[in-house]
Structure 1
Amino acid sequence: MTLYDRLYELYGEFDTESLRAYREFVDLFPPLDSRVALDRWDEANDDLSERRDRIERAFGPVAGETLAEVAAMADRESAFTALDLHGKYGRAPNALVLDVDETLRSAGDTDNEIPRETLHLLTEFAELGVPLVICTGQTLENVKGFLIQGLGNELVHSGDVSVVYEAGAGVFTPGSGADTKRLLYDELEDDVRGTVDYVRDGILHEAPERVRRGCHLQGNEFNVTLKPNYETGSDDAEAVIDEAMVHLLGLVGEAVEERTDIEDGPAAARAYYGDADPEIEGAISRAGGDVPETVPEAAVPLFERLEVALYRADAAELAAADLHKAAGVEASLEVLGIDDPFVCVMGDSKSDLRVMEWAEQHEAGVSAAPEHSSANVLDHVRATDDLVFAPGGAADVLRTMYAWRCLADLDDLDD
């Protein structure tokens, strides 16, 4: 009997919907000091075990246990999607690469918290031996805090969890000895590091009053990120971040001018980055600045190694072009000891797209994204496996990945 035949029988002959409901209740039931509540949990756990036993008896002890697990975690559509993916790629993900903001959690649908269901699923992957790579633009301290709170100290320090922070500036993998913390920015050339340091020193001290009062500097180790003191997305936030972008470009230009002997470095920076990114050009225009037409040739090599990004009404940022999420993920997988990676990348922004493109180019995984992602991310995901999920619905894709991993293990046993 093929895996397809087994799945058809599983979802056709058994009440898998009730099985999943019992599994969710048992897994996510909050700890309550109530005899009645605990009795209800015991009853649900007994019912869950009985339903799983029926499936195991029908399919045999080995296949039955795996298929019962699949049915308890994934609905019919997710299970068959998982099997189709396995048929296409012939292997299941051996690591998860996960963005946080607007991917695992969504301000619009989850109150900016990672849902308990999603957190629990991540612990289930750990039980399967699938490492987690949290890949984010946030600072390391922010990420460590919510990971320990959501996943528990034991799992975070198990050696199977790694954090790519500040969009690739560093990698933190607790329990990895000398490789626990790798500062990727230490490997940069002196002129790149020197430019970033110069900008950081003057980003608030030398800022126009509106920027100095309306922004704060995110507590990064390396990247320079200005965030608004207003509600993200508001008109006030947009105005101050636009002005902050012009100020940041001015400092970048000054630093490059010192290192290349060009004239009018701020104008050169506006020309280079405005031409490279229409969003930056728009910010410069809205702030009343101009975008010159030409860039001094001598400045281009250094500009190319510096990455300036605008997140409209949210942030103005300077980073090193060589420090991006894809480079961070490669370093993270190396520390985790994954020599032949095949990952599931989940993200929503252009920084996540670089990881998705890396996975495709190296035949090293699949990609998934929420439906509110940037257009180029959605284009990539829909053109590959169309793993698009609703805001706050990361658990849907995680259930598919979980089923895929289980079915792949069963397929290996059948072989």
Structure 2
Amino acid sequence: MNRYDRLYELYDGFDATTLREYQSFVDLFPALGSRVALDHWRRASDELDRRKDDIREAFPAGETFAAIAAHATREESFTALDLCTKYGRAVNVLVLDVDETLRSAGRTDNEIPRETLHLLTELHEEGMPIVICTGQTLENVKGFITQGLGNELVHSGTFSIVYEAGNGVFTPGHGTDTKRLLYETLGEDVRDVFDEVRSRALRDAPESVRRGCHLQGNEFNVTLKPNFQTGSAEAVDVIDEGMIHLIDLVGEAVADGSPETARAFYAAADPELREVLERAGEVPDTDTEDVASDVVATYERIDVGYYEGDAAEVGSLELDKVAGVEGALDVLGVDDPFALVMGDSKSDLRVMEWAEENDCGVAAAPDHASEVVLEHVLGTDELVFDRDDAASMLRIVYALDRLVDLE
């Protein structure tokens, strides 16, 4: 009997839905100092064991099938088996974006859901390294990740944070490699541009930007964040204006460059940036073919990121999340990665494309991800999940890594 037949037998012959509910209750039940609550938990734990025993006795690899049924839905298990058939490999590292992936601004508490945190902890305890890959500052992401996953996991030696979209890598417990400042590898000419843009980002900004934005506390990137509610009309307007201001600063900071040449270059390079410039009536008549080649070469090393109503950012195209992930895997000693890459933005897309090109992972995204991200995910393995349900992808990984070992 092959693995597909066994899964059909498992989900047709047993009440896996109720089994998962018991597993979830036992795993996520809060630690209450109540004898009554503890009695409820013990009864649920006993019933969970009884139902698992029924599955254990029904299959040659009963322990494996009991674990799969207790964690993954029927659809998730068959998706895992399809991945197993296609790639023949277990996932051996998680590469995870945070905002709008593990957690969503749509939630009032903006926290990572408890089930997601529990599954991350469970997979990590089974030997799965975790790489958090974010555009946030190190101190910000380190704080809430430590609070959610615990200090022991973060300092386990198999956990890493790629921060500021690839400018640095933080991997506690690795001596001199604990913190790698990747931006120090950039040429002095590029670093000088960032120094000038950073010093002038607010000082020389239009009054509406100066009053309506603040600088995020990055080590290297220059990021304007709105002082208004993210996504509000006021935030959209001030970030649009702030983005144009940053493009102009880049043009003035690059030797022999100008605001006009920078606007022309970035408008031609990114349709989203061009649309913002067009709305403001700020697209110049300059033809990019008339821009000096050395100026274009420098622009091509500098990224202007736009996140509507959320942020305008200047970063390095040489130090994207891919560079950060490669650095993290090197420190962690993951020599032959096969990663689950989860994210929602264009910076995450680069990691997804890297995984596909190098046959070293699969990509997953929330259903509200950027259009180009969804296009990539739907064109590969169709691993799209609902907002705030990153746990579903972790359950698929849980099932996949067990199915790979079955004959």
- Same-fold call, TM > 0.5? yes
Quick one: distance in 1 between partners of 2:354 and 2:107? 30
Quick one: distance in 1 between partners of 2:230 and 2:379? 31
Number of positions where the alignment pairs a residue of Structure 1 with one of Structure 2: 404
* Correspondence list, 1:321-336, <5 A: 321-336=317-332
The answer to whether the 8 Å contact 1:246/1:287 transfers is no
The answer to whether the 8 Å contact 1:245/1:284 transfers is no
Correspondence for 2:282 among 273, 278, 289: 289
Deviation at 1:87, TM superposition (A): 0.4
Deviation at 1:106, TM superposition (A): 1.4
Q: Hey, what does 1:351 align to over in structure 2?
A: 347
CA offsets 1:104-139 (integer angstroms, 9 cap, x no match)? 111224642110000001011112211111111111
Are 1:308 and 2:304 counterparts? yes
The answer to whether the 8 Å contact 1:239/1:287 transfers is no
Quick one: distance in 2 between partners of 1:80 and 1:395? 16
The answer to whether the 8 Å contact 2:230/2:309 transfers is yes
Deviation at 1:293, TM superposition (A): 2.8
Q: Hey, what does 1:390 align to over in structure 2?
A: 386
Are 1:145 and 2:143 counterparts? yes
Deviation at 1:12, TM superposition (A): 1.9
Quick one: distance in 1 between partners of 2:201 and 2:287? 25
Q: Hey, what does 1:255 align to over in structure 2?
A: 253
Q: Secondary structure at the match of 1:162?
A: strand
Q: What residue identity is the alignment partner of 1:324?
A: D
In the superposition, the TM-score normalised over structure 2's length comes to 0.97
Structure 2: tracts of 5 or more residues without a match: none
Q: Hey, what does 1:221 align to over in structure 2?
A: 219
Quick one: distance in 2 between partners of 1:109 and 1:202? 35
Quick one: distance in 2 between partners of 1:91 and 1:209? 55
Q: Secondary structure at the match of 1:167?
A: helix
Deviation at 1:174, TM superposition (A): 1.0
Deviation at 1:284, TM superposition (A): 2.4
CA offsets 1:55-92 (integer angstroms, 9 cap, x no match)? 222224xx211111111100111111111110000101
Q: What residue identity is the alignment partner of 2:190?
A: V
Quick one: distance in 2 between partners of 1:291 and 1:100? 37
Q: Hey, what does 1:404 align to over in structure 2?
A: 400
Quick one: distance in 2 between partners of 1:363 and 1:251? 39
Pick which of 337-346 and 242-251 moved more. 242-251
Structure 1: tracts of 5 or more residues without a match: none
Q: What residue identity is the alignment partner of 1:273?
A: Y
Quick one: distance in 2 between partners of 1:109 and 1:12? 35
CA offsets 1:153-185 (integer angstroms, 9 cap, x no match)? 101110111111111011111111211111110
The answer to whether the 8 Å contact 1:368/1:386 transfers is yes
Q: Hey, what does 1:73 align to over in structure 2?
A: 71
Q: Hey, what does 2:159 align to over in structure 1?
A: 161
Pick which of 226-235 and 214-223 moved more. 226-235
* Correspondence list, 1:161-240, <5 A: 161-240=159-238
Q: Secondary structure at the match of 1:92?
A: coil
Alignment root-mean-square deviation, CA: 1.3
Quick one: distance in 2 between partners of 1:378 and 1:207? 35
In the superposition, the TM-score normalised over structure 1's length comes to 0.95
Q: What residue identity is the alignment partner of 1:294?
A: D
Correspondence for 1:118 among 116, 130, 142: 116
Q: Hey, what does 1:378 align to over in structure 2?
A: 374
Q: Hey, what does 2:261 align to over in structure 1?
A: 268
Runs of at least 4 residues off by over 6 Å: none
Q: Secondary structure at the match of 2:166?
A: coil
Q: Secondary structure at the match of 2:363?
A: strand
The answer to whether the 8 Å contact 1:227/1:315 transfers is yes
The answer to whether the 8 Å contact 1:242/1:286 transfers is no
